[in-house]
Structure 1
Amino acid sequence: MNIALWICTGLLAAVALVGGITKTFVPREKLAAMPNGAWTGEATAGFVKTLGILEILAAAGLILPAVLDIAPALVPVTAACWTALMIGAIITHLRHGEHAVIVLNLIYLALAVFVLWGRTVAEPFGG
């Protein structure tokens, strides 16, 4: 179970890091022109960059607390926050009719719920 949780956590962290870097460093206009990026055209540049920074922090929050053994309880907290983020992403993409990306959001949501459950119930850090 621990290995499965680490794999899921690593996948979520990679997704968060790539998404965060993209939102933080790619201009909003380019993001809006990308497939499934129409929502960025309606959001302010500050909002998109803030969301990107939060995703980078989520990547760190999923991995670093456990690896460094400094407040590993932050891992399930971060997974809960990622769950909320994915619910918001699903709603946003539904409003824009971007159904293909919703499948990915549902997968990320399921992974986050698994990590949240796994690190609070099945195999929490420290015992």
Structure 2
Amino acid sequence: MNVAYWIVAGLLAAFYLYAGALKAVRSRDGLRPMMAWVDGMPMPAVRAIGAVEVLGAAGLVLPPLTGVAPWLAPAAAAGFVLLQIGATGVHLRMGDRRVALNLTLLATAAVTVGLATTWL
């Protein structure tokens, strides 16, 4: 299970590190081609989401790697489940029915929660 956790959590962390960093540093115009929802959100909220994603990515990797506060890994994964539930709601509320990526990330985060709790 440990190998499975590192594969799934590593992929999830890489995705969120990249997406979060983009949200944290790019302008609205730079984000719009990839994320049409940014037009419906204030930029401080977009930046906050980016920061949460970067911190969550670190929470998936650093606690199990260092052995310090390993309970943070399943908490970070559960946070990503909640984040994707909210993101799916935002997409649907804006009339965007393309939520396959959100549902995939939701399922991946849920699997990561399960894998992380097996070694706690």
State whether TM-score is above 0.5: yes
Aligned partners of 2:29 and 2:39: how far apart in 1? 7
Superposition RMSD on alpha carbons, in Å? 1.3
CA distance in 2, matches of 1:26, 1:7: 28
- Which SS does the other structure have where 2:95 is aligned? coil
Report if aligned partners of 2:4, 2:115 keep a CA contact under 8 Å in 1.
no
Deviation at 1:15, TM superposition (A): 0.9
Instruction: Calculate the TM-score normalised by the size of structure 2.
Output: 0.92
State how far apart, in whole Å, the 2-side matches of 1:30 and 1:98 are: 20
Q: How far is 1:29 from its partner?
A: 2.6
Query: Which among 113, 116, 120 is matched to residue 119 of structure 1?
Result: 116
From 35, 57, 66, the equivalent of 1:68 is 66
Unmatched runs of 5 consecutive residues or more in structure 2? none
List aligned pairs for 1:17-28, cutoff 5 A.
17-28=17-28
Counterparts of 1:29 and 1:97, CA distance in 2: 20
In the TM superposition, what is the alpha-carbon distance from 1:49 to its structure 2 partner? 0.6
Please give the alpha-carbon distance, in whole angstroms, between the structure 1 residues aligned to 2:94 and 2:36.
7
Identity of aligned residues (%): 40
Structure 1 unmatched runs, 5+:
none
Task: Please say if residues 65 and 71 of structure 1, whose CA atoms lie closer than 8 Å, have aligned partners that are also in contact.
Answer: yes
Tell me the TM-score normalised to structure 1 length: 0.88
Contact 1:83 1:109 in 2 (8 A): yes
Find the aligned partners of 2:119 and 2:12 in 1 and give their Cα distance.
18
